[in-house]
Amino acid sequence: MRAHALLLLTSLFATACGPSSSVDEGLGVIQQLDTSEQGITAFVRSGQYTSWLAEPTVHETRAPHGSKVRVFFNDLLVQSLRDGNATHPMGSIVVKELFEDDGKTLRGHALDVKIAEGPGKDTWIFYEGFGPDYSNNYYGRAHSTCHGCHSDGKDYVTSPLP
Please give the Cα distance from 50 to 39 (Å, whole number). 17
CA distances from 131 to 23, 61, 100, 137 (A): 18, 19, 12, 10
Residue with Cβ nearer ligand HEC (114 or 143)? 143
Nearest approach, Cβ of residue 162 and ligand HEC (Å): 11
User: What residues line the site for ligand HEC (CB under 6 A)?
Assistant: 61-65, 69, 71, 94, 96, 110-112, 126-128, 138, 143, 145-146, 149-150, 153, 157-159
Instruction: Tell me whether residue 6 or residue 118 sits nearer to ligand HEC (CB atom).
Output: 118
Closest CA to 138 of 151, 123, 125: 125
Report d(CA 53, CA 49) in Å as an integer.
9
Q: Which one, 87 or 158, has the nearer CB to ligand HEC?
A: 158
Smallest distance from ligand HEC to CB 12, Å:
26
